């Protein structure tokens, strides 16, 4: 059949949506695609257009014989509509990589369906963390609208640190210029550069990423931390220490702690200013105004203070106010400066660390400029937000003696306190895939928590979520991001239904066996234990880790039943090229998900052992097994780099779970 796609070529996002629709349809059924054709021979003409330029995403899909349309409330919604339609036709986008896509064959009759959708929330996004190649970020950006997301947050003025970690090969001593697995070569992007990654490299990579976002109409969030360092004259694109002593002028505007004005632990990004000093405020305001003026492409500019706590100024003037009152005063000044320059950029302000305590006196003068962002970084991920209980009172604020709330109700008290002072737009910035996910070895638990959390956002008075996360979070699969994206777009979606859909696509006929297996690993693991909460020696956790080892061990027969025997030549080649302990990399499986599951099983066996010994109080064994785990994942990174962030899992298992300290003690 001939399918003609008609659209306004001037709109780059809709043109991209049409290209995507044409490409996927031509892979699903025998057809010829005409882009903006005028011939009369087409069997189906589909028009792609918008009826307005609303902020809220919604679309209507109407397909019948001869004619059809995808009509969006804005250009991005047309693209969201295209991907939603493809999903309805059976396409699955289960990972941020085209090699995992599932594109079914369909007949013409399947095309003819009609429905409309409106997004449940306006803020649906993710924020870059971890270590990433340019290709990793581009794959992620490409994936976002396929799941219903509409935003991406590139932290700092340039996301230098997240790219540099990959290109400078942090936490992985090996290089792999010529590593070819038997089952296809390691991806071309899996080649960390030997020359140091520069800020200029990051600037040019950022331009490529932002252009990919613009092509998809994704909302760009920028900066966050870094303004305090910037006001002091530092570049602030990483949590880097500075050795140079501050000048007198710099000292004057820096927070005073124990009678001294200096960088906090040498890190500008973690240093607060003396916000009662008008020169500190002026410098801060100018830094933001200049940046916003130079970057009209930014939709949401995040204005955050230092990324550490108990380090606010103790001078006599600052003591007359609270950090949050000083923050609101600063935000009002920024708003006035932007308004004077006719800059419309939305500003995101942050409830985090001492700023969790609501302001006492100050209020935002122009609430429409602002978006509230609640960041419960210290929360537990063992359970979802509990809205059924009466909230405890907010503890009194004690300057430089705060402790962070881990309880879910305590966290909600702070949010509610702020909501009494501000009723504008808002979202949660949450951390399911920030650290906690490494404690969930099956990823079913953390996905369920994300689903339950999202379904409570409305009641919490929040308009969406940005997930602060590792982008390479696919061990054993990418269910968490899949659930988040789809549920943020449609809060009515059943979690169990999404799991079934995902596993059927990934694992085929044995999907229920895999659900049972990974659910069991999830039940036995602990996000809190991995996050360093509770004692390290813990007999009940030791028992659970032992059970994890047994479960993973026994699953080998199922995985092996999905292994495809190689021809002798290929087998020889595979076994010589791939590293030791390599069944997952050296053999073929009937889908890339089974191959990944085989790798994941080895990962669970090695990490599980290290955690078991730690929980059992056997520090030397824990340390040795953590080293064996790291050796293995470092060697295997070229084969599975899109699924596991070796930099980050090393940091979390080492510093947060505590395995590094044990190895130093042992
Ligand atoms: Zn001060």
Confidence check: pLDDT of 580 > 50: no
User: Residues of CATH 3.20.20.80 domain(s) within the chain?
Assistant: 123-507
The confidence score (pLDDT) of residue 666 equals 56
Rounded distance from Cα 253 to ligand 1 centre (Å)? 8
Centre of ligand 1 to C-alpha 322, Å, is 11
CA of 441 to the centre of ligand 1 (A): 46
* Residue 192 CA to ligand 1 centre (angstroms): 44
Whole-number Å distance between alpha carbons of 569 and 576: 11
Centre of ligand 1 to C-alpha 273, Å, is 7
Query: 359: CA distance to ligand 1 center in Å?
Result: 17
Measured at the alpha carbon of residue 428, what is the angle toward residues 426 and 434, in degrees to the nearest 5? 155
Residue 286 has pLDDT above 90, yes or no: yes
Q: Give the residue-averaged pLDDT of 412-435.
A: 97
Query: What percent of the chain lies above the pLDDT cut of 90?
Result: 87
Q: What is the mean pLDDT of the chain?
A: 93
Q: How far is the CA of 272 from the centre of ligand 1 (A)?
A: 10
> How far, in Å, is the centroid of ligand 1 from the Cα of 583?
60
pLDDT at 370: 98
Q: How many residues does the chain have?
A: 666
pLDDT of residue 360: 97
Per-residue three-class SS string for 168-180? CCCCCCCCCCCCE
Rounded distance from Cα 255 to ligand 1 centre (Å)? 6
628-656 average pLDDT score: 96
Cα of 321 vs centre of ligand 1, distance in Å, is: 10
pLDDT at 581 over 90: no
pLDDT value for 584: 74
* CA of residue 337 to ligand 1 center, whole Å: 23
Residue 574 has pLDDT above 50, yes or no: no
Ranking 153-167, 184-198, 419-433 by mean pLDDT, the lowest is: 184-198
* Residue 413 alpha carbon to ligand 1 centre in Å: 28
What's the 146 CA to ligand 1 centre distance in angstroms?
A: 48
User: In the predicted model, is pLDDT for residue 569 greater than 80?
Assistant: no
CATH 3.30.379.10 domain locations along the chain: 2-117
- What value does the mean pLDDT take over residues 203-211? 98
CA of 265 to the centre of ligand 1 (A): 18
CA of 282 to the centre of ligand 1 (A): 14
Whole-number Å distance, alpha carbon 284 to ligand 1 midpoint, is 14
Q: What is the pLDDT of residue 386?
A: 87
If you measure from the C-alpha of residue 247 to the centroid of ligand 1, how many angstroms do you get, rounded to a whole number?
17
Q: How far is the CA of 270 from the centre of ligand 1 (A)?
A: 16
Q: How far is the CA of 274 from the centre of ligand 1 (A)?
A: 4
The pTM (predicted TM-score) of the whole model is 0.95
CA distances from 371 to 36, 208, 419, 423, 659 (A): 40, 27, 12, 10, 39
- Would you say residue 577 has pLDDT above 60? no
Å from CA of 264 to ligand 1 middle = 14
pLDDT at 661: 85
Distances (CA, A) of 559 to 19, 460, 583, 605: 38, 42, 11, 14
**pLDDT value, residue 193:** 57
CA of 419 from ligand 1 middle (Å) equals 27
CA of 251 to the centre of ligand 1 (A): 11
Calculate what percentage of the chain has a pLDDT beyond 70. 94
Q: How far is the CA of 225 from the centre of ligand 1 (A)?
A: 20
- C-alpha 318 – ligand 1 centre gap (Å): 4
Distance 20 CA to ligand 1 centre (A): 55
What are the pLDDT digits (tens) for 68-78?
999 999 999 99
Burial of 340 (0-12, 13-18, 19+ CB in 10 A): exposed
Is the model's pLDDT at 583 over the cut of 80? no
pLDDT surpassing 70 at residue 114 = yes
Query: Which range among 200-204, 233-237, 451-455, 523-527 shows the weakest confidence by mean pLDDT?
Result: 233-237
Mean pLDDT score, 180-191: 44
How far apart are the CA of 280 and the centre of ligand 1, in A? 9
Largest CA distance in the chain: 82
CA 584 to centroid of chain Cα atoms = 26
Burial 128-167 (b: 16+ CB within 10 A, else e): bbbbbbbbbbbbbbbbbbbbbbbbbbbbbbbbbbbbbbbb
Domain 2-117 listed as CATH 3.30.379.10:
yes
Question: Which whole number is the average pLDDT over 528-546?
Answer: 97
Mean pLDDT of 294-299: 97
d(CA 118, CA 77): 9
* Ligand 1 geometric centre to CA of 306 (Å): 14
What's the rounded mean pLDDT across residues 325-343? 98
Confidence grade of residue 183 (pLDDT, cut at 50, 70, 90): very low
Q: How far, in Å, is the centroid of ligand 1 from the Cα of 304?
A: 18
Residue 408 banded pLDDT, cuts 50, 70, 90: confident
Distance 326 CA to ligand 1 centre (A): 10
CB atoms within 10 A of CB 387: 12
User: What pLDDT sits at residue 161?
Assistant: 95
pLDDT at 191: 59
Distance of CA 161 to the CA centre of its chain: 15
> Could you tell me the end-to-end alpha-carbon distance of the chain, in angstroms, rounded to an integer?
69
- Domain spanning 123-507: which superfamily? Glycosidases (3.20.20.80)
Q: For residue 347, how far is its CA from the centre of ligand 1 (angstroms)?
A: 24
d(CA 232, CA 269): 10
Average pLDDT over every residue of 620-631: 96
Q: How far is the CA of 110 from the centre of ligand 1 (A)?
A: 67
- Ligand 1 centroid to 228 CA: how many Å? 14
Using DSSP, state whether 530 is helix, strand or coil.
Answer: helix
Distance 358 CA to ligand 1 centre (A): 19
Examine the pLDDT at 265 and tell me if it is beyond 90: yes
620 vs 564, residue with greater confidence? 620
Dihedral of alpha carbons 480, 484, 486, 487, sign:
positive
Q: How far is the CA of 317 from the centre of ligand 1 (A)?
A: 6
pLDDT at 568 over 70: no
> Would you state the pLDDT for residue 177?
57
Both tokens of residue 631? 């050796």
User: Ligand 1 centre and the CA of 277: distance in Å?
Assistant: 6
Task: Report CA(242)–ligand 1 centroid distance (Å).
Answer: 22
* Section 282-289 average pLDDT: 98
CA of 400 to the centre of ligand 1 (A): 13
The arithmetic mean of pLDDT across residues 314-318, rounded, is 98
Q: What is the mean pLDDT of residues 52-62?
A: 94
The pLDDT, as a whole number, for residue 236 is 80
Angle, nearest 10°, between helix axes 539-554 and 592-615? Answer: 150
Structure tokens at 434: 């920030």
Q: How far is the CA of 275 from the centre of ligand 1 (A)?
A: 6
């Amino acid at each position: 059949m001939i399918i003609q796609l008609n659209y306004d070529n001037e709109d780059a996002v809709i043109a991209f949506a049409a290209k995507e629709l044409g490409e996927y349809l031509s892979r699903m059924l025998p057809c010829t695609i005409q882009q903006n054709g005028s011939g009369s021979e087409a069997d189906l003409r589909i028009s792609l257009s918008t009826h307005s330029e609303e902020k809220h995403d919604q679309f209507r899909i109407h397909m019948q014989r001869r004619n059809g349309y995808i009509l969006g409330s804005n250009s991005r919604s047309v693209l969201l509509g295209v991907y939603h339609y493809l999903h309805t036709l059976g396409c699955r986008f289960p990972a941020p990589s085209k090699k995992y896509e599932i594109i079914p064959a369909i007949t013409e009759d399947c095309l003819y369906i009609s429905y409309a959708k409106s997004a449940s929330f306006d803020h649906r996004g993710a924020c870059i963390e971890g270590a990433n190649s340019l290709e990793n970020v581009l794959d992620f950006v490409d994936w976002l609208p396929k799941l219903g997301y509409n935003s991406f947050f590139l932290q700092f003025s340039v996301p230098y640190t997240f790219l540099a970690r990959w290109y400078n090969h942090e936490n992985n001593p090996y290089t792999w210029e010529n590593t070819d697995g038997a089952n296809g070569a390691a991806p071309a992007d899996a080649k960390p550069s030997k020359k140091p990654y520069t800020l200029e490299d990051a600037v040019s990579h950022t331009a490529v990423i932002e252009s990919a976002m613009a092509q998809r109409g994704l909302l760009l969030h920028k900066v966050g931390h870094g303004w305090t360092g910037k006001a002091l004259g530092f570049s602030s694109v990483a949590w880097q220490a500075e050795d140079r002593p501050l000048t007198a002028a710099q000292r004057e505007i820096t927070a005073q702690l124990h009678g001294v004005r200096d960088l906090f632990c040498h890190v500008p990004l973690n240093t607060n200013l003396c916000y009662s000093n008008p020169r500190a405020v002026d410098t801060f305001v100018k830094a933001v105004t200049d940046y916003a003026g130079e970057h009209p492409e930014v939709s949401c500019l995040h204005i955050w203070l230092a990324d550490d706590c108990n380090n606010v100024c103790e001078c006599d003037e600052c003591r007359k106010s609270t950090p949050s009152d000083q923050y609101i005063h600063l935000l009002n000044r920024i708003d006035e400066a932007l308004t004077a320059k006719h800059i419309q950029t939305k500003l995101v302000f942050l409830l985090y660390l001492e700023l969790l305590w609501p302001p006492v006196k100050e209020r935002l003068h122009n609430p429409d400029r602002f978006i509230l962002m609640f960041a419960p970084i210290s929360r537990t991920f063992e359970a979802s937000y509990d809205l059924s209980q009466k909230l405890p009172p907010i503890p009194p604020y004690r300057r430089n003696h705060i402790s962070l709330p881990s309880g879910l109700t305590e966290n909600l008290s702070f949010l509610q306190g702020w909501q009494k002072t501000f009723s504008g737009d808002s979202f949660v910035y949450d951390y399911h895939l920030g650290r906690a996910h490494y404690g969930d070895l099956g990823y079913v638990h953390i996905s369920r928590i994300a689903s339950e959390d999202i379904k409570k956002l409305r009641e919490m008075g929040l308009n969406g979520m940005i997930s602060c996360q590792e982008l390479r979070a696919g061990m054993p699969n990418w269910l968490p991001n899949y659930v988040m994206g789809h549920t943020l777009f449609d809060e009515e979606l059943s979690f169990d239904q999404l799991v079934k859909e995902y596993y059927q696509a990934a694992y085929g006929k044995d999907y229920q066996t895999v659900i049972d297996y990974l659910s069991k690993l999830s039940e036995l693991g602990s996000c809190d234990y991995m996050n360093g909460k509770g004692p390290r020696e813990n007999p009940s956790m030791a028992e659970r880790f032992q059970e994890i080892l047994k479960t993973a061990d026994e699953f080998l027969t199922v995985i092996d039943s999905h292994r495809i025997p190689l021809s002798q030549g290929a087998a020889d080649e595979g076994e010589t090229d791939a590293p030791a302990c390599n069944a997952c990399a050296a053999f073929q499986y009937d889908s890339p998900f089974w191959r990944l599951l085989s790798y994941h099983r080895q990962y669970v066996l090695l990490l599980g052992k290290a955690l078991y010994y730690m929980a059992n109080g056997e520090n030397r064994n824990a340390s040795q097994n953590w080293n064996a785990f790291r050796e293995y994942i470092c060697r295997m990174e070229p084969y599975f780099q899109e699924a596991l962030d070796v930099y980050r899992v090393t940091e979390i298992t080492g510093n947060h779970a505590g395995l590094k300290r044990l190895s130093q003690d042992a």
